[in-house]
Structure formats: C-alpha cells, structure tokens
Amino acid sequence: MTKDTTACGSCMAAYEAAQKLKRTNYGSNNSACHPSFWKPNFFLYEGKKETELIGDKQQNVVNKVVRDFLPLIKESKENPAVALANLMYEKIKQEILKIIPDDFPAPIGLIGGVHINTDKQERIEDFFVVKDVLLRRGPNKKFDDLTKEYYASLPN
C-alpha cells in the first residue's frame, strides 16, 4: 500500500508494521488519556515490549492505534489508506473532545478534517477535506454539528 499512497508516513509505516506483528497480552483500555495506555508492558508483540519496537513515544502511540484498527481496515470496503485516514481522524477527534472541559466558559468551535496529499507530478495541489464543523455555545452544552450547513454554504 505504501507504493500507492502519499498518506501520512507515520500512519503508513505503522500500518505496514502492524500487519507483520502478532499481539499478545492485550490490555482493556484503548484511550491515550488512560494511564495504562503508557505502561511499557501493556502490549507485547512477538515477545517484545511496545517500547522496544521503536524508540519514539509519539510513533509508539500511532503504532498502537493503527494496530487496533487492523480488523476494521481489513473489513472495510474502502481503499485501506482511506479507511486508515478516516479511522485515525475519528480517534483523534475523540481524544480532542475528551480534553475539552465541560465547564469551559466560552464558546468553542472545531473544524476537523483530513489533509489530502496529492501527486505533485500531476500538478494537483494538496487540499483539506472538512469532515466536521462543531460548535459548543457555552459551558455544559453539547457540540452542535454544523457540517451540513458548512457544505451547503459553499459555492457550487
């Protein structure tokens, strides 16, 4: 797949590596906000601690998340690179929403999406696909999804 895509290098590297590794001793919590996520022995891969696979903690997080997505990517009818991008986007969105305090006093707007890398030889510029336009109008309120309104407001 890496020969067919210009998707995020760290995600693609994690995807390629994840397909080659077998996980044992699976833990129960998948959230990067949960302390057990960061324990070095939390996952074992072919007898190696997760931190022994690669020395970069940020890449270890990407590797772990991508490994958890492998079954979903395999089941998806989408191109694996597209499925991976969509799943990573949703995971990142979940983590961002977790860190916003419920009692934050001001309105909060979030625009989320996926940056699309294109083939420079074709002279097509990279672009950003908006997946979510969210607005929370004050403390202890839910986010309103304004994505449809955003797309409706764009010129044809």
What would the pLDDT profile of 84-97 be if each residue is shown by its tens digit? 889 989 999 999 99
Band the pLDDT of 131: cuts 50, 70, 90.
Answer: very high
pLDDT of residue 44: 46
Domain range list for the chain = 7-23+38-99, 102-155
What would the pLDDT profile of 12-65 be if each residue is shown by its tens digit? 777 777 777 655 444 444 555 544 444 444 444 555 555 555 556 777 778 788
Residue type (1 letter), 96: I
- In this prediction the pTM is 0.67
Q: Quick check: 139 pLDDT over 60?
A: yes
